[in-house]
């Protein structure tokens, strides 16, 4: 259930490059542009077989062949044509979970479908719910949700059921993603002022601050498949409010040991929302993908 999308046709319709899909090699420190686009794309997942990146654009999902980036296919998501940049692959790579703005009220809910395309199955009847993680054993989804007046971290069985609230601190808790061993959930929180990276046990216990920045607001921590490193996106203090993560800003991608320590700034770019929202590490933990934007 895939349909071929011609990059040549896109390019002929626009003489302007809007954004780039890039790959960073953490060993060689090389930054490589895989493909440029005349439309906005966001949030690239690296498939477990190492062959493809899945991203979203204009509410739809696409798959790009890393070895042949001219080959881009749209993934059929049925009625779900308002997908945002919160899509996550199962550990097997056979299914993909999405956040889709439901037609009836426009609010984000979480669905699951086959990675090759198909009919989405609803997981979270309550909204808004913004997906971020899938446990390695395939049993749980983690997400940020607004219930009453606060945004907190929740988990829910992947096959549907009762959601469980894991955080209840003041401020915004967002971006919850499982560690590769399934023992922890990494997330970001404004509970101490600026947006910082945090970690907790998968049941919500031992919520621990992992970054202590005075000059950055940091979002969306992603642990490498080997469990050793964490990459995340940072806005400079004063450029945005701690609870905001807009596009079209000067941002920094930063890397830190998963055990904790001082983060290293590895890539400076024009980006933000859509740049690094989802788990985008390569299976060998050597590279990760991200999206950069052209300055107006």
Per-residue model confidence (pLDDT) at position 296: 85
Block residue for tokens 């190492």: 50
The span from the CA of 157 to the CA of 220, in Å, is: 22
CA dihedral of 231, 236, 238, 239, whole degrees rounded to 10: -90
Per-residue model confidence (pLDDT) at position 133: 98
Nearest to 153 by CA among 91, 195, 202: 202
pTM > 0.85: yes or no: yes
Model confidence pLDDT, tens digit, residues 28-86: 999 999 999 999 999 999 999 999 999 999 999 999 999 999 999 999 999 999 999 99
Residue 100, token pair as written in the block: 């889709």
Per-residue model confidence (pLDDT) at position 3: 33
Nearest to 211 by CA among 254, 173, 177: 254
The span from the CA of 56 to the CA of 80, in Å, is: 12
Per-residue model confidence (pLDDT) at position 149: 85
Model confidence pLDDT, tens digit, residues 81-110: 999 999 999 999 999 999 999 999 999 999
Tell me the mean pLDDT per 10 residues along the chain, length 296. Answer: 38 64 98 96 98 98 97 97 97 97 95 98 98 98 94 97 97 97 98 98 98 98 98 98 98 98 98 98 98 94
Domain 2-293, classified CATH 2.120.10.30, yes or no:
yes
Per-residue model confidence (pLDDT) at position 61: 98
The span from the CA of 251 to the CA of 45, in Å, is: 20
Block residue for tokens 């642990």: 223
């Amino acid at each position: 259930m895939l349909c071929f999308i011609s990059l040549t046709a896109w390019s002929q319709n626009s003489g302007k490059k809007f954004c780039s899909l890039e790959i960073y090699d953490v060993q060689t420190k090389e930054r490589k542009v895989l493909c440029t686009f005349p439309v906005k794309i966001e949030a690239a997942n690296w498939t477990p077989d190492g062959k493809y990146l899945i991203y979203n654009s204009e509410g739809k999902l696409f798959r790009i062949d890393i070895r042949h980036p001219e080959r881009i296919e749209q993934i059929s998501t049925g009625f779900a044509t308002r997908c945002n940049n919160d899509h996550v692959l199962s550990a097997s790579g056979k299914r993909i979970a999405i956040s889709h703005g439901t037609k009836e009220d426009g609010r984000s809910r979480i669905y699951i479908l086959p990675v090759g395309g198909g009919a989405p199955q609803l997981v979270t009847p309550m909204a808004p719910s913004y997906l971020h993680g899938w446990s390695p054993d395939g049993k749980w989804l983690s997400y940020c949700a607004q219930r009453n007046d606060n945004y907190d971290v929740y988990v829910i069985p992947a096959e549907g059921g009762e959601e469980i609230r894991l955080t209840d601190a003041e401020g915004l808790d967002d971006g919850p993603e499982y560690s590769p061993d399934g023992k922890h959930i990494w997330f970001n929180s404004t509970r101490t002022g600026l947006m910082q990276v945090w970690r907790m046990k998968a049941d919500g216990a031992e919520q621990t601050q992992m970054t202590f920045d005075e000059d950055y607001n940091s979002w969306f921590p992603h642990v490498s498949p080997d469990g050793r490193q964490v990459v995340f996106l940072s806005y400079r203090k004063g450029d945005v409010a701690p609870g905001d993560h807009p596009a079209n800003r000067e941002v920094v991608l930063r890397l830190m040991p998963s055990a904790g320590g001082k983060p290293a700034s590895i890539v400076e770019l024009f980006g933000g929302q859509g740049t690094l929202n989802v788990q985008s590490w390569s299976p060998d933990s050597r590279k990760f993908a991200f999206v950069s934007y052209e300055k107006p």
